[in-house]
């Protein structure tokens, strides 16, 4: 009986060990590799593409002015606000010029008196000339009378100048826009006391906008008037704006560069002060060229897939200037003669097998 029990237990242990071995053998079987994906593969070619120089600059207004008053006075009215577009000569600020107006009335009265005295002096000079001709007065008496006439004339001129000066101060009580533009900064409110030289507003003429670029000495010969420029604002890198080079500097500066000014095309949705990147074409260069469908942007980098030994290898590529619509040029990442996937889909990942 004892030996029978032992034999039964041994058989059970052998059966369990056999079952475990069968499970291990079944678990170690590898899954079959995924089937290759049918993809179109093309050979990388080369073509001439524009060679561009990248410069940086700041968008500037065509004109910018700190508007000030030409006379002192208390502000009694402000007719504009920040962001408002104004016409040339439009009223911006009114000053209290009642004191100047009273001075103007006084100056007018003094001028009238001086003119009356001049008229009297001219008549006396005529009589003196007649008496001198008749020998009724001496030369010295005639000279004294002539001096009085000259003095009267000078007094009239002085009164006219003072009257004009005071009239100008009255007119200066209205501060006007020196040109058409948009009000930027506003530094005045009713009740303020202003004096000549104090900035009241910043006036900006934003039509057209322009950008100043610093061109390295080695590239100066490639820059010409009326040359086209492509601009990209840092605030909106996906949108491109056009500009034309309108002015060239007269000399190379201490930084060994030439200042160049370009005028933006009308309708550019940019604001003075924005930082921008400019691309200027200075020649041509031979580079690898691919269809736009053969590259894809994933995250912040561009990718192409090169087929090597039947597998797609992910390559990070740097794009250059497009040679034509629907094409891209490659600065680095792939080379002429490489086999690349012609159209990238979501199925195309690094290491996927490709069926040619």
Half-sphere exposure of 260 (CA within 13 A, CB side): 27
Q: What is the mean pLDDT of residues 64-86?
A: 89
Whole-number Å distance between alpha carbons of 27 and 230? 62
Q: What is the mean pLDDT of residues 265-287?
A: 87
Dihedral in degrees, nearest 10, Cα atoms 33, 34, 40, 44? -50
Percent of the chain with pLDDT over 70: 88
Model confidence pLDDT, tens digit, residues 105-136: 777 777 788 777 777 777 777 777 777 677 77
CATH 3.30.360.10 fits 41-49+286-355, yes or no: no
Residue 253's pLDDT is 79
Name the class of domain 53-62+205-283: mainly beta
Query: 2: pLDDT confidence band, cut at 50, 70 and 90?
Result: very low
Name the class of domain 98-171: mainly alpha
DSSP 8-state assignment for residue 31: P
Cβ burial of 65 (10 Å; 0-12, 13-18, 19+) is middle
Residue 153 pLDDT > 90: no
Whole-number Å distance between alpha carbons of 269 and 209? 10
Task: Please indicate whether residue 8 or residue 66 has the higher confidence score (pLDDT).
Answer: 66
Report angle CA 52, 54, 56 to the nearest 5 degrees: 155
Radius of gyration of the chain (CA): 44
Residue 169's pLDDT is 73
Residue 157: helix, strand or coil by DSSP? Answer: helix
Classify domain 65-95+175-204 at the CATH topology level: OB fold (Dihydrolipoamide Acetyltransferase, E2P) (2.40.50)
Model confidence pLDDT, tens digit, residues 240-272: 899 999 998 888 878 888 899 999 988 888 888
Whole-number Å distance between alpha carbons of 352 and 341? 11
Domain ranges of the chain: 41-49+286-355, 53-62+205-283, 65-95+175-204, 98-171
Residue 8: helix, strand or coil by DSSP? Answer: helix
Model confidence pLDDT, tens digit, residues 218-228: 888 888 899 89
């Amino acid at each position: 009986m004892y030996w029978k029990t032992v034999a039964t237990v041994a058989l059970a242990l052998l059966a369990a060990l056999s079952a475990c071995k069968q499970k291990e053998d079944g678990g170690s079987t590898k899954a079959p590799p995924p089937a290759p994906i049918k993809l179109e593969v093309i050979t990388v070619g080369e073509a001439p593409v524009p060679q561009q120089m990248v410069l940086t600059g700041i968008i500037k207004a065509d004109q910018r002015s700190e508007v000030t008053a030409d006379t002192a006075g208390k502000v009694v009215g402000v007719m504009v606000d920040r962001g408002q577009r104004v016409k040339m000569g439009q009223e911006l600020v009114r000053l209290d010029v009642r004191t100047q107006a009273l001075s103007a009335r006084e100056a007018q009265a003094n001028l009238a008196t001086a003119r009356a005295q001049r008229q009297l002096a001219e008549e006396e000079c005529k009589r003196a000339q007649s008496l001198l001709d008749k020998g009724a007065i001496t030369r010295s008496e005639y000279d004294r009378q002539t001096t009085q006439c000259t003095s009267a004339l000078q007094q009239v001129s002085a009164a006219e100048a003072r009257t004009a000066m005071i009239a100008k101060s009255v007119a200066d009580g209205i501060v006007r826009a020196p040109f058409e533009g948009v009000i930027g900064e506003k530094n005045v409110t009713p009740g303020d006391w202003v004096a000549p030289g104090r900035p009241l507003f910043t006036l900006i003429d934003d039509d057209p906008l322009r950008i100043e670029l610093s061109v390295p000495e080695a590239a100066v010969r490639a820059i010409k008037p009326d040359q086209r420029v492509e601009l990209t604002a840092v605030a909106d890198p996906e949108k491109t704006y056009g500009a034309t080079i309108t002015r060239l500097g007269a000399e190379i500066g201490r930084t060994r560069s030439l200042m160049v000014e370009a005028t933006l095309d009308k309708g550019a949705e940019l604001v003075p002060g924005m930082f921008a990147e400019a691309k200027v074409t200075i020649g041509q260069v031979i580079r690898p060229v691919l269809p736009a469908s053969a590259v894809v942007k994933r995250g912040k980098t561009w990718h192409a897939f090169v087929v090597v030994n039947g597998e797609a290898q992910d390559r990070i590529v740097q794009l250059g200037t497009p040679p034509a619509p629907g094409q891209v040029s490659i600065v680095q990442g792939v080379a002429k003669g490489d086999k690349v996937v012609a159209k990238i889909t979501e199925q195309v990942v690094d290491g996927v097998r490709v069926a040619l």
